[in-house]
Amino acid sequence: MPPVVADARAAGRRLPEPVPETVAVAALAVLVAIAWRFRRTIRTERATRRAMRRLCVGHPAGTELVAASPTPQAFAIPGTPGRILVTSATLAALRPAERRVLIAHERAHLTHRHARKDP
């Protein structure tokens, strides 16, 4: 590196100052925080997928599962075979035609493999 610095100075070029230590420490702290959140997100995602797969155990292939919950939600659970989980609040809020559309939508997620599988 010194010959490059000497050549640059000889040519009259100004070299950039190194990153101030406080900026480097702050950047490292932000990077660690991002890595920690990313790790936590991955662990939560995997735990959720495991829980969803456990819900499917013992149910025949091609069935839709209904969970008692006050929160309206619907999920396509990937796997072999894939399943659809719908909460009771969702079913209560929809008319029969809307329910058919919801189930078709979730089946499309399974058919087209929109949910990636765990490694």
Residues 69 and 119 in one domain: yes
DSSP lists the bridge partners of residue 83 as: 77
79 with 90, same domain: the answer is yes
Q: Are 74 and 100 in contact (CB under 8 A)?
A: no
Using alpha carbons only, give the angle 58, 63, 66 rounded to the nearest 5 degrees.
85
pTM: 0.57
Which pair of structure tokens corresponds to residue 119?
Answer: 């490694």
The whole domain housing 112 covers 60-119
- Same domain, yes or no, for 40 and 76? no
- Same domain as 44, residue 84: no
Q: Provide the domain count of the chain.
A: 2
Tens digits of pLDDT across the chain (119 residues): 678 777 887 888 777 777 889 999 999 999 999 999 999 999 998 898 788 778 778 877 777 888 888 999 988 887 777 788 899 999 999 999 999 999 999 888 888 877 655 43
Query: Both 53 and 81 in a single domain?
Result: no
Same domain, 64 and 111: yes
Q: Residue 58 gets which letter from DSSP?
A: T
As beta bridge partners, residue 66 has 86
Looking at the fold, whether 67 and 47 belong to one and the same domain comes out as no
Instruction: Note the Cα 90 to chain centre separation in Å.
Output: 23
Instruction: Tell which of 27, 42, 57 closes a domain.
Output: 57
Looking at the fold, whether 50 and 70 belong to one and the same domain comes out as no
Domain shared by 39 and 4, yes or no = yes
The amino acid sitting at 46 is R
- Say if residue 20 is in the same domain as residue 40: yes
Query: Could you tell me if 74 and 90 are in contact, meaning their C-beta atoms sit under 8 angstroms apart?
Result: yes
